Chain A
């Protein structure tokens, strides 16, 4: 099993609903977020391109964050989800430094926090909160090893890209272009 997410940049309107839904679902303290939205503009008026991207931990196959963690707090669970055991984390920040996506932050409690793909919801057969709330239905989630999963199906029919492929981390968030 390999969990992954595909996000359709042709549909995303950059509204940040994914951010608020993650914050409320996961009870993230005010001032912090596990996901965020970027806006990229290219060209000169009136020949312009605009791309919004909802970004988060890429749950990479090759995980510098797990490698650099001195306590084993950062680890990979079933389906390739990268998690942090809060009790084991000493807040040293090595993982934050090693992440090419800047996807981790130090929580006010001291431990490092990040996207979990809402694994507490996956157990009940639900999608991550961001996927479930998106008003443009631009996010697809599922098991890449299952060719019938929403993420596999949409990726089979669309062009896609990943962020910072040069980092060699084999990220599992795919942007449909």
Chain B
């Protein structure tokens, strides 16, 4: 159904703005038609939104012309996440809306469970079927046997539904495949996790230490902007990376470390900072516990010891440690974000946290600021029923420090080899393409095939939709309401998302889907509103604003409750740890049998002819979700394999030669990848951007373009503290003849 603009005004003016109707046009901007590069009247409107292309959720404006055509998305100048500037993915976010490959109608699998034959069904049929299956599975195995895998803003609506149904088995790859170990290491040390965006005071920092963190390629918008500002002010950047990353090229020191040896470098840095008395004595004495044990522990980890492991020369280790101390406390040893590398990641992140503590950067200008969030009242809803068991009970022995759902634990409970009693029997999957976002694709698929029912909610026909029994087409962030964005920053702030358009095709917002399913399960009380805008308006009115005001502002900032962005001079703040102090030595870790002080553990090495597989990000893509976006595939349509010229010579490679990869377990890539011969990568490693090699032919731009690193990551070293899946101990060799693999779709 296409609503003309006249209909659209008529409908909204009589106040029947049901979900299919976009928000009334706001913020007319006068313009001269001759100056407008779009044909049309030149009368342009803009609509508040926050970006959903990545988790940074920058707030901005969706611009359209009077004919209803989308024009551009521009950042909101009052937004502390974007400062009015979107990154390329956000600017190209309109491609998510425009993409004709989008899921268009609800789909139901017909025929055998392993078939990929679907028929289009109505929304009513889809919801009736889902509700009936949920009841059936709930009765057979308990409501707890239904799990939710989630990513993104709209996952909250299905989280609410699944919680109301009585299951707390909910997890997202943002934890165990990303920042899980980091959050737990910082909680163990400083008593709180870092959250998102991380409270890094980069703009006022004098020294930034990046360990494998490729700011600029990962385009974490606020941080990239602040780094740039700090470069103008003369910041000294130290980058540790086996790859000559973009930011390595902007660094005073680039340490081309041997991969998987970061802990040795960190321990040697701690050694130098303590032994040369470069640490913040007053701060450590007042605010921390365990310094003496730490000092004794690191005596063995001299720069000379680390040299043999990391290949970084002792004088460089000393010089860089002094560089950090010179800038202290305006120094940040960056905690990174995607932290699941080698299976000892909580230990590595503990070393990073300790290093920051020694430098006194936590709570200090130019280090880590104390973030604050806006407070919003919760929309009224009954209390959730108490589940009999949750994800921790799938294997109570594992991951004692995990504070959020662990996807791989839920997959364990879903897998045919699971011997426990708390089995997962059905999945809801929203906004995460599990075969690509979780390593060891084969195991994920085995778990999928062991499920009695799978519902996938997505905007695109990603791989995971091909494993669903029911597929629900979600509209994009440009076409829907969601919760207000409430994320921590220097100033508490909120941002609004309103639909600029009615949903294309028959796609619908997730809140509406969750509500319709809830109604059929007798859980309608949990969704006590007609339209999600009712919830937003109510919440906003409680804090002295309104939906109408926010439609004009997009972003609203609030004063901090206390003047506590940094620790005050002479203040002795209390930390959320057991001791109330910064815990250099962790009794908590010791009590579970883990090293209370960080250690270095040698990692597996590649055999001759094999190379360590390193993956990372491109500034124009977010995981696998953008690799079909018509705007962004223009800029990068495939990933390439970075190979050092020495290696290329050995293998007689030419630039852009198509090769296949085979990993240590004999897994061969589904598709070929082009070789990029470059000095930017070490000879013992190869590098590719994550998120490519789509296997679903319905993704017309992404299908078969490049390869998926996830399928080659079959050796997963799990971080025993947090459950994070270490993915960087996989090795590949090259296959130059077409292995003739049958392509699935």
Interface residues of A (CB under 8 A from B): 10-11, 13-17, 19-21, 23-27, 30-31, 33, 41, 43-46, 48-52, 120, 123-124, 132-138
Contacts and interface: CB of A to CB of B under 8 A. Distances in A.
B34 to A, nearest CB: 8
Contacts of B254: 46
Nearest to A119: B35
Contacts, number: 127
B682 interface: yes
Interface stretch (B9-17, B397-405, B519-527, B629-637): B629-637
B619 A24 contact: no
Contacts of A133: 74-75, 85-86, 91
Nearest to B681: A45
A11 B631 contact: no
A44 B680 CA distance: 9
B94 interface: yes
B679 A45 contact: yes
17 contacts: A13-B217, A14-B216, A16-B619, A17-B86, A17-B87, A20-B92, A24-B72, A25-B37, A41-B244, A120-B35, A133-B86, A135-B85, A135-B224, A136-B228, A137-B85, A137-B225, A137-B228
Given A15-B88, A16-B635, A45-B644, A50 B680 contact: yes
A43 B247 contact: no
A138 B632 CA distance: 21
B36 interface: yes
A2 to B, nearest CB: 22
Contacts of A136: 216, 224-225, 227-228
A44 to B, nearest CB: 6
Given A14-B246, A17-B88, A27-B37, A45 B256 contact: yes
Nearest to B680: A41
Nearest to A25: B72
Nearest to B85: A135
B475 interface: no
B91 A20 contact: yes
A11 B232 contact: yes
Interface of B: 31, 35-38, 71-75, 84-88, 91-92, 94, 216-217, 219, 221, 224-225, 227-229, 231-232, 244, 246-250, 254, 256, 619-620, 630-632, 634-635, 644, 678-683
B678 A41 contact: yes
Contacts of B256: 45-46
A73 B36 CA distance: 20
Nearest to B682: A45
Contact of B620 (A16, A44, A49): A16
A11 B92 CA distance: 22
B38 A27 contact: yes
Contacts of A26: 37
Contact of A135 (B74, B225, B248): B225
A135 B228 CA distance: 8
Contacts of A21: 72, 91
Contacts of B680: 41, 45, 48, 50
Secondary structure class of chain B's binding surface, majority of residues? loop
A27 B84 CA distance: 20
A24 B244 contact: no
B71 A27 contact: yes
B652 to A, nearest CB: 20
A132 B84 CA distance: 9
Given A13-B619, A50-B249, A137-B225, 9 more contacts: A10-B231, A11-B228, A15-B224, A20-B88, A23-B634, A24-B71, A33-B634, A120-B37, A134-B85
Nearest to B633: A30
Contacts of A27: 37-38, 71
B224 A49 contact: no
Contacts of B635: 16, 19-20
A13 B246 contact: yes
B244 A46 contact: yes
Contact of B87 (A25, A132, A135): A135
Nearest to B246: A13
B644 to A, nearest CB: 6
A95 B15 CA distance: 56
B584 to A, nearest CB: 33
A123 B37 CA distance: 13
Nearest to B220: A135
Q: Which 7 A-B pairs have the closest CB atoms?
A: A13-B216, A15-B619, A50-B249, A24-B72, A136-B228, A17-B88, A120-B35
A33 B88 CA distance: 14
In this complex, the member of A15, A19, A134 whose beta carbon has the largest number of chain B beta carbons within 10 angstroms is A15
Nearest to A137: B228
A24 B73 contact: yes
Contacts of B644: 45
Contacts of A51: 249
Contacts of A20: 88, 91-92, 620, 631-632, 635
B73 A13 contact: no
A125 to B, nearest CB: 12
A135 B226 CA distance: 9
A59 B9 CA distance: 44
B287 to A, nearest CB: 35
Contact of A15 (B87, B94, B232, B248): B87
B472 to A, nearest CB: 29
A25 B94 CA distance: 12
A50 B88 contact: no
A132 B228 CA distance: 15
A49 to B, nearest CB: 7
Contact of B634 (A11, A31, A138): A31
Contact of A48 (B75, B216, B244): B244
A30 B57 CA distance: 26
A170 B209 CA distance: 41
A85 to B, nearest CB: 13
Nearest to A45: B679
A26 B92 CA distance: 13
Contacts of B74: 132-133
Contact of A10 (B221, B250, B632): B250
A25 B38 CA distance: 9
A110 to B, nearest CB: 17
A133 B219 CA distance: 13
A66 to B, nearest CB: 22
A45 B85 contact: no
A13 B94 CA distance: 22
B88 A23 contact: no
Given A41-B678, A50-B249, A19 B88 contact: yes
A41 B632 CA distance: 24
